[in-house]
Structure 1
Amino acid sequence: MLEPSLESQRRGGALAFELTVENTGDDPVELSFTDAQRVRVSVYPAGADEDATPLWRSDADRMFAQVMGSETVPAGESRTFDAAWSDPDPGEYYVVAELCCRNRELRAEETVLV
């Protein structure tokens, strides 16, 4: 069983996001990806829902190598995937991080103050 968690923190002028996926089960879990992208982070104004247009998205205007891949998360271990918003304005934001794997839906969210 995989448990996702999200941590956001300031690093210099950027806002860094870490999506950690912990395997709390007894067996290893394989994550399959359709391309080189591993995580998508979307940032919304605080109080907005996901139907709103994000203020920033980690994969906007980016291209990813079209190569399939996989990662295994052994039992009792975790994997962390990261992204960073280089120059956020001060404010309160609603952040959604999603693992971009094809065989599981894993996401975490939080509200963060910059």
Structure 2
Amino acid sequence: MNDIDKVPGIILESIIELDSFLSGIDSSKTFQENRLVRSACVRQLEVIGEACGALSPEFVEENSIEDWQAWKAMRNILIHQYFGVDYHRVYSVIIEEIPRLKSLVASLLE
């Protein structure tokens, strides 16, 4: 297994980390008030975006049900515009979009 084959596993690991960081966080308000959780979650989204950018073109084509480029774009925003991160949007992405990504990546790894 080469490094590129490990990328979906890295994505899933980061999603599992997100799940654990959000334990006990029940709202966007609570999320926004907890700087440590916000920072940890943003870091995992950055890892997910970086990993999505490292997926092979063949993998992306075979699994085009997901917009892998959008995850990479989110990473770029988080990395380069850290002074203007919309934490309400970050929380929304984690709650609304990460579960679908988790399901997809888990099924790909089976």
TM-score, normalised relative to structure 2: 0.24
Q: Which has the higher helix share?
A: 2
Q: Which has the greater radius of gyration?
A: 1
